[in-house]
Amino acid sequence: MKLPYVEYEAPTTVAEAVGLLAEHLDQASVLAGGQSLIPLLALRLARPAVLIDINGIHELSGVSATDGRVAIGAMTREYVAEESESVADTVPLLAAALPLIGHEAIRSRGTVGGSLAHADPAAELPAVARALDAEFVVRGQSGMRVIPAAEWFEGYLTTSRRPDELLVEVRFPAAGRGTGVSFQEVTRRHGDFAIVGLAASLTLSDGAISDARLAFAGMSDVPVRAAAAEELLAGERPSTELFDEAARRATRDVDPPADLHGSSDYRKTVAAVMVRRGLRAAADNARERQ
């Protein structure tokens, strides 16, 4: 369908955008890459009175690596992050997830901040942000807030961003030596949202796991950490038996949604497979990065 009638604003600075958000509040939708919002408009699932198009705000684009972290401007296109050496070198889990988003033409326009602000629980980037405890920087007229990933995702397509705030930057911690990663997903078709996805990161020191991070996509209304499995893994040495047990614990207390792509039980079964595969691949990757 054609898009519904909507007012259009195209600010060129963050201050201007924040002013417009303060004026229109929840009557406004922020338009970044548009790869999710434009379909929502076409399908009448979103009916904002005003679109605030942030594509002209140049200060919102860019990747910068500083003191152990990589800061990605909210308007940074997914293909730019995908091609960034800084992302590949310092946040390999993000680099592994980016090529799995939609298709090439989607990543030409889609943005890192847009995907994370849209907060689709089956999308790749929310799981990566949750696994790595990324930080979300938002700006409002009253100033800046830094929100940890654990508090960012509040529900289906819902974040803790207030209507008068703009997501300006997302900060990902740099992976240290001995950290191996893997992003696993099962989709109906190439480029689809995951039926189940898993962001996995393992750090090995002297052959033992010193840090384990597992976050599921598609298993709840928000990306979720597999805390019980992470606790089991910490301090242990990688083995098939350990990873089998981690898969059991990761899927013991979950109640994934059912839809036409898969029942809840199917998702649980797939999730266990993702954990075993993800841990094996992350451990292999960690050994290469010692």
Site residues (vs another protein, CB under 8 A): 1-8, 10, 31, 34-35, 38-39, 41-43, 51, 53, 55, 79, 102-106, 108-109, 190-191
Contact between 13 and 5 under an 8 Å Cβ cutoff? The reply is no
Contact between 177 and 290 under an 8 Å Cβ cutoff? The reply is yes
**Measured from the CB of residue 109, what is the shortest distance to another protein in angstroms?**
5
For another protein, the closer of residues 194 and 209 by Cβ is 194
For another protein, the closer of residues 4 and 163 by Cβ is 4
List C-alpha distances in Å: 269 to 70, 109, 199, 272: 34, 34, 17, 5
**Measured from the CB of residue 43, what is the shortest distance to another protein in angstroms?**
6
**Measured from the CB of residue 55, what is the shortest distance to another protein in angstroms?**
6
CA atoms of 258 and 274, how far apart (whole Å): 18
For another protein, the closer of residues 56 and 68 by Cβ is 56
What is the DSSP secondary-structure string of 260-287? Answer: TTB-HHHHHHHHHHHHHHHHHHHHHHHH
Residue type (1 letter), 95: A
Contact between 268 and 257 under an 8 Å Cβ cutoff? The reply is no
CA atoms of 178 and 283, how far apart (whole Å): 9
CA atoms of 182 and 97, how far apart (whole Å): 8
What's the Rg (C-alpha) of the chain?
19
For another protein, the closer of residues 74 and 209 by Cβ is 74
List C-alpha distances in Å: 214 to 25, 27, 96, 208, 247: 35, 36, 14, 17, 10
For another protein, the closer of residues 31 and 282 by Cβ is 31
For another protein, the closer of residues 187 and 220 by Cβ is 187
For another protein, the closer of residues 8 and 288 by Cβ is 8
Q: Of all residues in the chain, what percent are helix, strand and coil, respectively (each to 5)?
A: 40, 25, 35
**Measured from the CB of residue 278, what is the shortest distance to another protein in angstroms?**
22
**Measured from the CB of residue 105, what is the shortest distance to another protein in angstroms?**
5
**Measured from the CB of residue 41, what is the shortest distance to another protein in angstroms?**
8
For another protein, the closer of residues 157 and 242 by Cβ is 157
**Measured from the CB of residue 2, what is the shortest distance to another protein in angstroms?**
7
Find the angle CA(46)-CA(3)-CA(117) to the nearest 5 degrees. Answer: 40
Residue type (1 letter), 54: I
**Measured from the CB of residue 191, what is the shortest distance to another protein in angstroms?**
6
